[in-house]
Amino acid sequence: MSALELSDVVVDYHGRGGHVRAVAGASISVERGTIVGLVGESGCGKSTLARAAVGLVETAGGTVLFEGRPVTSLGRRTRPAELVRLQLVFQNPYSSLNPRRTVGSQLADGARGANVAELLERVGLPSNAIRRYPHEFSGGQRQRIAIARALAANPSVIVLDEPLASLDASAQAQLANLLKRLSRELEVGLLLISHDLAIVRHVADEVSVMYLGRMVETAPTLPLWEHPAHPYSEALIAAVPRADGGGVLPDSLPGEVPDPSHPPTGCRFHPRCPYAFDRCTVEEPPLLELSGGRASACWLQTEGRAPAPLPNLVGTESVE
Amino acid sequence: MSTLAVEGLRVRLPTPAGEVTVVDGVDYEVQPAEVFGIAGESGSGKTVSMLALLGLLPEGSAVEGSARFGNDDLITMPRRRLRSISGRDIAMVFQDPFTSLHPMLSVGKQLTEHVRLHLGLDRRGAEERAIELLADVRIPDPRAALRRFPHQFSGGMRQRIAIAIALACRPRLLIADEPTTALDVTVQAGILRLLDRLRREHELAVVLITHDLGVLSSVADRVSIFYAGRVVESGNRADVLQRPRHPYTRALLDALPHPEAPKEQDLVAIGGAPPSPGRIPPGCAFHPRCAYAVDECRSVVPPLVPVGDRRLACPVDPFADE
């Protein structure tokens, strides 16, 4: 059993204009000691799924299990004690840290006897950070403080929502290395939500690709990167600009993530998919198990087989 | 002739703790139809060096040097004249188009006011020009788009609209400050392709400011790497990014996850943090973080001098033979 297991989770948001299904039946699981990357464009529901994973939003369907127990949405009730081992780190640490309290006192909140200096050392901060305030640190250091605070609860799983966005390359590298080390050394499972595929490739053991509320592909990281089985994964990877000085423009994916309140018929990706054929417009492909621990929701793939190479599109003009 | 030639640009900004030098002697030139890329970490002076050219710095800032644009010097030009040039001959695009677009005015209003003001077109002519511009940046159904408001468009489409407004008066120079930073990679790729086409079709000189060396590598023809308000290395894109010679350029590239690197390998972070303006180390500002620093680096600011195929501000030049 996985430490964190989300099955067929559905999340609806209700507003004046009716309801929007932000997550439409998505599954993902995180084992202790592994890093699972969750990628997709903005609006695909990845942050909502992260919030559902820790009980910050109510689910309208499916189950969320943490260490075998259901995670229910927080509401006004107090959080069950065992859920303290499931932690969340946000994108902007400055908004989640209290500017008027010292780092040491904020860490001590969750530490319950754990050594605060030790926590700081774990994340690579000097012990004199205890007496300092959040504003005295750089963005990367603040994110490490936020991670130290999550570690204070001795978690088995940490959900990180875009922890690396808005950091400079060097700070990003430091934090990426730290996350890998923590998952190995502390056997903590990490669910890493990110829009940066290059860093996810480097950090994550497995990757799930989300599109308009559903998983379209799940695979071990390197095979996914080298042979994406879903056209959407392929498009995401092709859009990453390379810093090799080659002057090659990345490929863009035409169109945009559609409005989740009116998802397209059939495969949700078909209006943007260069390979779409008749069946894709009418019938939604299930997430098919392929070989090698992979799964893809695409009619081009056949159940139980190795991922079929995507048809060659060389010669097609890339759009702006 | 170059569209813009900046020489010896120095900027001091007023802070509560006194004046602080944020840009310390920057030179570059941009040619028509060329994308000139400026890269560096946050706080390296990339943006301030641009704002200085357009007179957009806070009251009390001191700007030295020259910035030749056509027959004018942007630095010494009277403010009124600078204001008529910027927005017409020089256009800017920022990271967040939502802050540069007016939320309460329709797209059509924002585009037509602009062209009527600067080009003196009548209402009808201005509307035709607006439709032409929206089509040029690939906004679907441009005529209908004129009646819509910024919040009705996605982030990528808003950035396209901001670019359309920037292009409205046929500028010769476009300054794009982190234009794709807030966008998804798929959308970013589209904007980069758009910029690349526009500069060719409109003979537009583009200054692209970015912290993302991947973005720099895909569209810039020539690049400058900024560190603590100075240029440490500049040259052709391929020369600088494929064979970096300044230890800082090298370190920046090494910190990136390489798409073919083995996964077990740790990323190489640069030790320490960039200095804050006002606390710039003496000598080469990078020396406290540099593995190759010698005594000279700690006392003498290395000048940016031609070295082979590029300009380099490093007396040690540890990668000269690679």
What's B43-55 look like in SS3? Answer: CCCHHHHHHHHCC
Q: What is the pLDDT of residue B87?
A: 81
Q: In this prediction, what percent of chain A has a pLDDT beyond 90?
A: 68
Average pLDDT estimate for A133-138:
90
3-class DSSP state of B80:
helix
> What are the chain A neighbours of B269 within 8 Å (beta carbons)?
170-171, 173-174, 177
Residue A14 has pLDDT above 60, yes or no: yes
Average pLDDT estimate for A54-76:
88
Q: Which two tokens stand for residue A320?
A: 């702006």
3-class DSSP state of A286:
coil
Q: What is the pLDDT of residue A165?
A: 84
Contacts of A110-118 with CB under 8 Å at 24 or more apart are A110/A84, A110/A149, A110/A150, A110/A152, A110/A153, A111/A152, A112/A152, A112/A153, A114/A152, A114/A154, A116/A152
> What are the chain A neighbours of B270 within 8 Å (beta carbons)?
170, 173
pLDDT in tens, B201-253: 999 999 999 999 999 999 999 999 999 999 999 999 999 999 999 999 999 99
How long is chain B? 322
* Spatial distance between the Cα atoms of B98 and B107, rounded to a whole number of angstroms: 12
Q: Which residues pair with A70 in a beta bridge?
A: A65
Picking from A185, A242, A259 by the largest number of B CB atoms within 10 A of its own CB, the best residue to mutate is: A242
Residue A76 has pLDDT above 70, yes or no: no
Cβ of A173 and B255 within 8 Å?
yes
Which amino acid appears at position A151 of this protein?
L
Tell which residue, B169, B4, B166, B167, has the closest CA to residue B70: B4
Q: How many CB atoms lie within 10 A of CB B299?
A: 10
A81 CA: distance to closest CA in chain B (Å): 36
Tell which residue, A108, A112, A110, A150, has the closest CA to residue A129: A108
* Spatial distance between the Cα atoms of B257 and A161, rounded to a whole number of angstroms: 19
Q: Mean pLDDT score of chain A, rounded to an integer?
A: 90
Cβ of A180 and B42 within 8 Å?
no
Work out the pLDDT band at A315, boundaries 50, 70, 90: very low
* Spatial distance between the Cα atoms of B31 and B4, rounded to a whole number of angstroms: 7
- Do residues B267 and A202 make contact, with C-beta atoms less than 8 angstroms apart? yes
Q: What is the pLDDT of residue A316?
A: 54
Find the residue in A nearest to B192 (Cα): A249
Cβ of A242 and B257 within 8 Å?
no
Among positive and negative, which fits the CA dihedral A163, A169, A174, A180? positive
> What are the chain A neighbours of B187 within 8 Å (beta carbons)?
41, 252, 256
Average pLDDT estimate for A66-91:
83
Cβ of B189 and A252 within 8 Å?
yes
3-class DSSP state of A316:
coil
Dihedral angle of Cα A29, A35, A40, A45, to the nearest 10 degrees: 40
> What are the chain B neighbours of A141 within 8 Å (beta carbons)?
273
Find the residue in A nearest to B42 (Cα): A168
* Spatial distance between the Cα atoms of B123 and B158, rounded to a whole number of angstroms: 23
End-to-end CA distance of chain B: 34
* Spatial distance between the Cα atoms of A275 and A266, rounded to a whole number of angstroms: 14
B242 CA: distance to closest CA in chain A (Å): 6
Q: How far is CA B317 from CA B24, B39, B222, B244, in A?
A: 21, 20, 20, 10
Average pLDDT estimate for A29-58:
94
> What are the chain A neighbours of B255 within 8 Å (beta carbons)?
169-170, 172-173
Helix, strand, coil share of chain B (percent; to 5): 35, 25, 40
Q: What is the pLDDT of residue B274?
A: 87
Q: What is the pLDDT of residue A318?
A: 66
Average pLDDT estimate for B73-93:
91
Residue A183 has pLDDT above 80, yes or no: yes
| E-state strands within A194-252 | 206-211, 214-220
Q: Which two tokens stand for residue A147?
A: 């991670």
Q: What is the pLDDT of residue A166?
A: 76
Among positive and negative, which fits the CA dihedral A148, A149, A155, A157? negative
> What are the chain A neighbours of B234 within 8 Å (beta carbons)?
none
Residue A314 has pLDDT above 70, yes or no: no
Tell which residue, B289, B288, B320, B310, has the closest CA to residue B232: B310
* Residue A260, CA atoms < 13 Å, CB-side half-sphere: 24
3-class DSSP state of B297:
helix
pLDDT in tens, B12-39: 999 888 899 999 999 999 999 999 999 9
pLDDT in tens, B153-197: 988 899 999 999 999 889 999 999 999 988 889 989 999 999 999
pLDDT higher at A163 or B263? A163
Q: Which two tokens stand for residue A293?
A: 């621990």
Range in A72-81, B15-24, B132-141 with the lowest mean pLDDT: A72-81
> What are the chain A neighbours of B256 within 8 Å (beta carbons)?
169, 173, 198, 243
**What's the burial of B185, exposed, middle or buried (CB within 10 Å: 0-12/13-18/19+)?**
buried
Rounded to two decimals, the ipTM of the complex is 0.89
How long is chain A? 320
DSSP conformation letters of A135-179: GGS-HHHHHHHHHHHHHTT--SEEEEESTTTT--HHHHHHHHHHH
Backbone φ and ψ of A170, nearest 5°: -70, -40
pLDDT in tens, B240-268: 999 999 999 999 999 998 877 777 788 99
Range in A63-72, A181-190, A237-246, A306-315 with the lowest mean pLDDT: A306-315
Cβ of A177 and B267 within 8 Å?
yes
Q: What is the pLDDT of residue B95?
A: 86
**Among A42, A244, A320, beta carbon nearest to B138:** A320
B271 CA: distance to closest CA in chain A (Å): 8
3-class DSSP state of A191:
strand
Residue A107 has pLDDT above 50, yes or no: yes
- Do residues A268 and A23 make contact, with C-beta atoms less than 8 angstroms apart? no
